[in-house]
Amino acid sequence: MLYEIVDGTVTAGGETVLSHIHFEIKGKEKIGVVGRNGAGKTTLLRLIAGELTPDRDDKRQGSAIRTSRRVTIGMLTQTQEKDAQKTIDEILMESCPVDDPASKEYFDYRAEYDRIFTGFGFAKEDKRKKLSDFSGGEQTRIALIRLLLQKPDILLLDEPTNHLDLKAISWLEEYMRSYDRAAVFVSHDRFFLDRVVDVVYDLQDGRLKRYPGSYSHFREQKRKDIAAAKKAWESQQKEAARLEELIEKFKHKPRKAAFARSRKTILERMEKLPKPDEDDVHIFTGEIEPLIPSNKWPLQTKDLQIGYDKTLLTLSLRVRRGQKIGIIGDNGAGKTTFLKTVAGFLSPLKGECTLGERTTIGYFDQNSAAIESDKTVAEHFHSLFPALTEKEARQILGAYLFPGRKAQEKVDGLSGGEKARLVLAELLNARPNLLLLDEPTNHMDIQAKETLESAFKTYTGTILFVSHDRYFIRQVADAILVFEDGRAMYYPFGYEHYLDRVQRSKETGEGMTALLRAEDQALLEGMRNVPEKERHRLKEYSTEELTHDWEYRLAAEEHDAVEREYLDAVEKLENLRIDEYRAWVENGFVPAEEGKDLSDIEVRLVEAEIKVLLLAT
């Protein structure tokens, strides 16, 4: 055990912030601390850093804080005013363990210094600038670099991804995964936690609970724990009610009085389970279906040029009904401009942007959340959907985290994140078939984000959305559209798959576009090269099966292994009867009737379905 807090309590201003907590760091663990704003996460970091001391407790034996050896602890602090006129090189070389430029230690420190400095997006020549020449966010990054160079045994970071762009965050993730010492993170960046930590502590009501594994594993396990605790509590309540009924029934009957007393003893000795807290995230189940289904292609663009005075981007794209496409790219690449063009707020500079028949649009951007109303949340929502009963309206609001008293608050009194959540609740309840969302979860806490993620996942319509929240993108998107260097690149799988592909392209030195084109071409050629006698079997694949097969083959390491897998699948299909096969209306083929000849379904249709997944550039 490297570090341990045993039965630690911290109070501030008469309020108990941490109550009898147990916290431990083993070896080189990377630990995430999560909880609502104000739960005490920063207080915990300050306690570990030694800035706070635990309250005295006569019941506790020994110190509340124990370490296996003398440890160094480093916590991110703001740069000092006295450093403002120093150069960055002077500030960062203060942590160098030796002064001899000819020594190996000095050389290694310099190399590490350069690696971290450029990893955070600075140019090498920036080292000669004074600290005062940098913005507040840049100064925070410099303070983080200095802390990383000090390499404490326990590194404490409070919201380390603030003030970092996506490239710097990705670099920090890689660095922290290989960091050979312990680290504790407080962060709202769930994707960062997922990729870095191997333990999560959940801080709630002043108490800590340890969950081994990633953030996603913690959320799943916590839901299971809450469900199990609720089931146990309800079972005990039911048993207590049964015993009380028996006691009341037999206590006045002489022959049953002993039995009644024994039931009373059992009831009194029963260890009462506390009523479990409800999960503060609402998980939508079932499906949220559009009011009117769109046709197969709700959106198509051809040589579409978007921008204002000049063209930012040119793209051709076909969006299939039900797709959820996350749009990523640097600021200014044209992401918001594209959504506004599709929504009709901007005219194309050139080319075509066509909405399919029956397409109904729901549009959200940050201006959408700037609603003003002196009505309560319930009144405002009910006025938009007068056909709902008051009970139905309140049930819907409760699902979007506006229960009871919260629904009675004035709309004008809500925070920006709460207003955004209310507008999104309105959009989803209106049930358009094409949602265009620009940063839908900005300024929201984790509970609100996870609630909306579950809603968007159960929504069966089509979504195009822009977001910087990588966890949100991973949870919702089934395809990625990358805006880069004036063009759009389409990736037909989820965000994490895309990141893995980017990493592999860096390692091999090939560009992402080259990789995708090569693999796509190999796929289509592989289909054309299926022996003629077996080709008729392709028509028995559904669109879903073919797409699944494609995903496997894109991820495979060796082309030969891919080909063998494909041919095995074809061979297995020969054992299927036509009447067991299910096709899909529009998205594939109509349901086959027993004995019906399917020879009219050609391989070219299969190829066309796959080509739809590519972005023509």
Answer for the pair 177, 197: CB distance below 8 angstroms, yes or no. Answer: no
In this structure, the strands spanning 65-67 and 199-204 are: unpaired
Sheet with 324-329, edge to edge strand ranges? 350-355, 299-307, 311-319, 487-491, 479-484, 324-329, 462-466, 434-438, 361-364
CA distances from 108 to 82, 97, 175, 245, 478 (A): 28, 11, 16, 77, 43
Report pLDDT for 491: 83
Superfamily of domain 299-499: P-loop containing nucleotide triphosphate hydrolases (3.40.50.300)
Answer for the pair 179, 22: CB distance below 8 angstroms, yes or no. Answer: no
Give Rg (Cα) of the chain.
30
Per-domain residue ranges of the chain: 3-218, 220-269, 299-499, 510-612
What's the CATH number of domain 3-218, 3.90.1150.10, 3.40.50.720, 3.20.20.70, 3.40.50.300? 3.40.50.300
Structure tokens at 101: 């430029």
Sheet with 73-75, edge to edge strand ranges? 73-75, 154-158, 182-186, 30-34, 199-204, 207-212
pLDDT (tens digit, 9 = 90+) per residue, 80-136?
A: 667 888 999 999 999 999 989 889 999 999 999 999 999 999 999 999 999 999 988
Kindly report each contact of residues 554-562 with a partner whose C-beta sits within 8 Å and lies 24 or more positions away, as own/partner: 554/493, 554/519, 554/523, 555/497, 559/522, 562/526
Q: Taking residues 382-395, what's their average pLDDT? A: 94
Q: What are phi and psi of 556, to 5 degrees?
A: -70, 150
Q: Taking residues 307-313, what's their average pLDDT? A: 90
pLDDT (tens digit, 9 = 90+) per residue, 522-581?
A: 444 444 454 555 444 444 443 344 445 544 544 544 445 545 555 555 454 444 433 333
E strands, 388-513, in order: 434-438, 462-466, 479-484, 487-491
Q: Please determine, for residue 250, whether its predicted confidence score (pLDDT) is greater than 80.
A: yes
Estimate the crossing angle of helix 603-612 against helix 543-555, to 10 degrees: 60
pLDDT (tens digit, 9 = 90+) per residue, 349-381?
A: 999 999 999 999 999 998 898 999 999 999 999
Q: How many CB atoms lie within 10 A of CB 117?
A: 21
Q: What are phi and psi of 184, to 5 degrees?
A: -125, 125
In angstroms, the CA 380 to CA 388 distance is: 13
When mean pLDDT is compared across 2-6, 86-90, 174-178, 277-281, the lowest value belongs to 277-281
Answer for the pair 446, 33: CB distance below 8 angstroms, yes or no. Answer: no
CA distances from 558 to 444, 562, 563, 565, 568 (A): 43, 6, 9, 11, 16
Q: Please determine, for residue 307, whether its predicted confidence score (pLDDT) is greater than 90.
A: yes
Mean pLDDT over all residues of the chain?
A: 83
Q: How many residues does the structure list for the chain?
A: 617
**Residue labelled with tokens 């004074």:** 130
Can you list the alpha helix ranges (DSSP code H) found in 179-294?
Answer: 190-196, 215-250, 257-269
C-alpha angle 568-572-578 in degrees, rounded to nearest 5: 145
Answer for the pair 505, 515: CB distance below 8 angstroms, yes or no. Answer: yes
Structure tokens at 246: 């028996």
Answer for the pair 96, 58: CB distance below 8 angstroms, yes or no. Answer: no
Sheet with 65-67, edge to edge strand ranges? 15-25, 3-12, 65-67
In this structure, the strands spanning 30-34 and 199-204 are: parallel
Report pLDDT for 563: 54
Q: Taking residues 50-59, what's their average pLDDT? A: 83
Report pLDDT for 316: 85
In angstroms, the CA 479 to CA 243 distance is: 56
When mean pLDDT is compared across 230-234, 537-541, 599-603, the lowest value belongs to 599-603
Hey, is 466 helix, strand or coil? strand
Report pLDDT for 492: 80
Q: What percent of the chain has pLDDT over 90?
A: 59
Amino acid at 163: H
Report pLDDT for 349: 94
Report pLDDT for 163: 82
DSSP, res 598: -
Q: Taking residues 297-313, what's their average pLDDT? A: 91
H or E element: which one contains 526? helix 512-528
Whether the domain at 3-218 and the domain at 299-499 fall into the same CATH topology = yes
**Residue labelled with tokens 């977001």:** 467
